[in-house]
Structure 1
Amino acid sequence: MTEGPLWSGLDLVARLNARVRGLVPDGVGGISIDTRTLRPGDLFFAIKGENSDGHDHVAAALEKGAAAAVIDEAHADAFGQAGPLYIVRDVLPALEDLGRAARGRMDGRVIAVTGSVGKTSTKEALRDVLSTVGATHASAASYNNHWGVPLTLARMPEDTRFGVFEIGMNHAGEITPLVAMVRPHIAIVTTVAPVHLEFFSGVEAIADAKAEIFSGLWPGGLAIINRDDPTYDRTRWHAENSPARHILSFGEHAQADARLEALTQVSDGSLVKAEVLGQVVNFHLGAPGKHLALNALAVLLAAKAAGLDLFAAASTLGRVKAGPGRGAQSRIETGRGAFTLIDESYNANPASMRAALDLLGSTMRGLSSRRIAVLGDMRELGPQAPALHRDLFKSVRDNDVDLVFAVGPLMRELFDALPSKLQGAWAETADEIAAGLFDVILPGDVVMVKGSNASRMGPLVASLKTRFSLPVEA
């Protein structure tokens, strides 16, 4: 990307519809809403969050070298001449306006991704593939909500060739305004699953909410849908009644436009054979798991539609790695030998939990080693939550799991349904389960940890790594 400021100081006055106090900066190099990650020269937006108000951190942002801060009129008097300030009526809408301006000045191709499972990994795979041929801008982490999407847009340089945006939701109607800002040429729905059932009447309503992503498509754009989903027909209907001109599908289904034909797990990922738009494609995916291989097919459809060579795009998928909390594998040395840790600790729902258990079941193990699942509660499932936890028993059985450690009152439903030989231990919290888990793990074991963020399985993964010597990446 070209050198120079992300936004000129004078341009920001109009883009933000702001009045200025102090000297207008020549330009800003980035956009920040968090002083912990702010870099000198950034423009700081004082966003009001659920637990904090960015206005409380404006002074710290300026002290750290922010080029200026965006504050609201209600706080203007409190800051006096503290530094360069852009004063607006409301900070979040100002950030949204800047995001729309960034999208309006960018002439490249834009792809949006949503789904109950696999949004972030698909977005990251697209980033890896597209960046091989042009400047690519993508969401950081899981910045997929009402502030994350406009923030990602506002950070997008003008000369970006490819933009990739992750879009999430907890309630119906949340995707529509976000995708209206992004205006993608290509929209992907990775899968529709029983997630956030506390806020929906059923999976069909979730499909309707996910399909909102098609409403913001550039006229004549492409919708990419999971052909294996039970809600495929419903999701396709929404695509057909959207600005999309083209609809493509992926999956194992015989009629999928990108069809998975064979999958072999290897030590450094997966070997995949697929038929994509009538062409046989063989490639190495640098992360294991069928769910990731299926989403890689959506990536190839999007890359082809964005103008990339299909086989060249497939050849870059070996660079895709599972991230922390999303299937990253490590070999942990115990002093008596190593065990394998699969970190699936970033959130959970029934679909992603089954996918994680499938991944555990696909791992190689020795004759005396075991597959151990450490599972925390899945949240926001409403009245169906107890049954959905008990229903995981089939996945535990089918994947030849040897031992289950369960955390939380909901996961007790699964634990009590297991035969005694599979019951490791149950505890109310991850901290309480740790000691017993540490004592049980043996060299050669494969340990997979997963649960909703509220179950705090991430700190348990960290404890496993620090309990023993430094891990060696698998």
Structure 2
Amino acid sequence: MLRMRASEIAAAVGGALHGADVEVTGSVETDSRLVTPGGVFFAMPGEATDGHRFIDAAIEAGAALVVAERAVEQDVPHVLVPEGVTALGALAAEVIRRVRAGGELTVIGVTGSNGKTTTKNMLQAILEQHGPTVTPVKSFNNEVGAPMTMLRIDEATRYLVLEMGASVEGDIARLTAVSHPEIGVVLKVGLAHAGEFGGIETTARAKTEMVRDLPEHGIAVLNRDDERVRAMAAATAARVVWFGTEPGPADDPTHLWADAVDSTLEGTVAAVHRGERSWPLRLRILGEHHVLNALAALAVADALGIELEAAIAALGTMERAERGRMELLEPGGGITVINDAYNASPDSAAAALRALAHMTRQAGRRSIAVLGEMAELGPHAVEEHDRLGRQAVRLRIDRLVVVGPGAKAIHDAAELESSFGQETTYVATAEEAEALLRGELTAGDVVLFKSSNVSGLQVLAERIGGL
């Protein structure tokens, strides 16, 4: 973060300073275990615990300043605020304002029901070749995580890439009001978090907040393949740049599109086109669905004036999308593990199954899908898990292992869809799944793990994968 005095921070967050007007030279943290000397500790109540309980630990770690919601008894400079989350956002807004005023900062926001983290990582791979770039750790994309990312910038930062997630309408609008992105990317509108939103149309309205709030001099980067994203062009005053898997209108020379897409266990290839020019794209990342994410990142690079050839070369250096996202593991014995269990939605799970089916069929290897619950689907949960089970059968996945009560509809549907039940097994826990797999896996098997993080399959995938 920028060097700031405690009084400046108090003014930015609308709080009252108690104690010395110290200079802050370290980072801003909400976890006392991450505090470094000279930093700021935000003591905030959370779902599991209360940050005020850890002020002593933050002081011991070297915190120069504490921001808190109630009186601090310890002898440390502190700022009292009515609400820590609001104060965190206000401080992030002030830091962005100062860096913009004194430098060449460009803020890029990325939203969508799927693909945000992969696209963010692709943008990092491209942009860090052209200037200091700050991106979220993991998938920090909410009212706490996004400001924490914003607060990592300093005077030298050239690009700030933000994931913008939402649980309800208004979440993305609040994040854009803090960061004011010049470029907004919308990847897809799907059923991720549908249980919280109440339906896909509400999801579409929430994602529209990204482009609705862009300035006139901004750029909206939109997926032409998704009809709900296409409709967002009417909601923005910014210039629209498109990407997709079909040629755009002849009078749109900026439209980026791809064809000749193929994916193997060695990676994914495609041909990228813009106007009359074409470039080969070679990704180490598994899965044809990642081509759209690559196109989104390339469209941003193109809009920023970065040569596409250089941007495509940067994408080719990425070894994986993210830990737990179509991550290839080779534990030995001729077995291949694909760990895609960091998160799951109906769209991403279907794409992962298609990738598994395609890659194993090409390689002549046995396909095994270990599937857990897709969380936060609300009233759509049974229907979408049922749909996934039927799809696994129609894709001719050789072996299906379904884990946990929340995912049992996958197994039930697969059993009904297939003419016999030997291809699918239901187990209640990840431990039972591990025992089953260790007894069955043989050389040549390719095992996909796909679920939301709450299922614990990411840890199982890493154990089976030898990490």
Q: Same fold (TM over 0.5)?
A: yes
CA distance in 1, matches of 2:380, 2:353: 20
Corresponding residue for 1:229?
226
Cα RMSD of the aligned pairs, angstroms, is 2.2
TM-score by length of 2: 0.91
Answer whether contact 1:325 1:458 (CA < 8 A) is retained.
yes
CA distance in 1, matches of 2:79, 2:291: 46
Corresponding residue for 1:240?
234
* Secondary structure of the structure 2 residue equivalent to 1:431: helix
Corresponding residue for 1:442?
442
Q: Which amino acid aligns with 2:461?
A: V
Q: 1:31 to 1:417 in 2, by over 3 A?
A: same
Corresponding residue for 1:17?
14
Gaps of 5+ in 1: none
Q: Deviations over 1:61-120 (max 9, x none)?
A: 110122222112x223xx242x23233333222211111112212332111000010001
Answer whether contact 1:250 1:259 (CA < 8 A) is retained.
yes
Q: How does 1:85-104 map to 2 (within 5 A)?
A: 85-104=78-97
Query: How far apart are 1:266 and its partner, in Å?
Result: 4.8
TM-score by length of 1: 0.89
CA distance in 1, matches of 2:427, 2:382: 16
CA distance in 2, matches of 1:15, 1:52: 26
Q: Deviations over 1:299-352 (max 9, x none)?
A: 11111112312221111111222221111111012xxx2311111111211001
Q: How does 1:418-457 map to 2 (within 5 A)?
A: 418=414, 419=418, 420=420, 423-457=423-457
Q: 1:53 to 1:277 in 2, by over 3 A?
A: farther
Answer whether contact 2:2 2:153 (CA < 8 A) is retained.
no
Answer whether contact 2:28 2:39 (CA < 8 A) is retained.
yes
* Secondary structure of the structure 2 residue equivalent to 1:168: coil
Query: How far apart are 1:413 and its partner, in Å?
Result: 2.0
Find the partner of 2:302 among 284, 304, 307.
Answer: 304
Q: Which amino acid aligns with 2:234?
A: E
Find the partner of 1:415 among 406, 411, 418.
Answer: 411
Q: How does 1:25-424 map to 2 (within 5 A)?
A: 25-72=22-69, 74-76=70-72, 79-81=73-75, 83-107=76-100, 108-234=105-231, 236=232, 239-244=233-238, 246-255=239-248, 257-320=255-318, 321-333=320-332, 337-364=333-360, 369-418=365-414, 419=418, 420=420, 423-424=423-424
CA distance in 2, matches of 1:194, 1:178: 21
Q: 1:6 to 1:422 in 2, by over 3 A?
A: farther
Answer whether contact 1:345 1:452 (CA < 8 A) is retained.
yes
Q: Which amino acid aligns with 1:34?
A: D
Q: How does 1:458-469 map to 2 (within 5 A)?
A: 458-465=458-465
Q: 1:90 to 1:199 in 2, by over 3 A?
A: closer
What is the aligned residue count?
453
* Secondary structure of the structure 1 residue equivalent to 2:32: coil
Q: 1:395 to 1:259 in 2, by over 3 A?
A: farther
CA distance in 1, matches of 2:435, 2:217: 57
Q: 1:220 to 1:387 in 2, by over 3 A?
A: same
Q: 1:19 to 1:255 in 2, by over 3 A?
A: same
Answer whether contact 1:194 1:203 (CA < 8 A) is retained.
yes
Q: Deviations over 1:401-429 (max 9, x none)?
A: 11000013343222123223553420223
Taking only the aligned residue pairs, the percentage that are identical comes to: 34
* Secondary structure of the structure 1 residue equivalent to 2:342: coil
CA distance in 1, matches of 2:364, 2:308: 43
Answer whether contact 1:129 1:316 (CA < 8 A) is retained.
yes
Answer whether contact 1:70 1:88 (CA < 8 A) is retained.
yes
Answer whether contact 2:43 2:66 (CA < 8 A) is retained.
yes
* Secondary structure of the structure 2 residue equivalent to 1:24: coil
Q: 1:368 to 1:289 in 2, by over 3 A?
A: closer
Answer whether contact 2:208 2:235 (CA < 8 A) is retained.
no
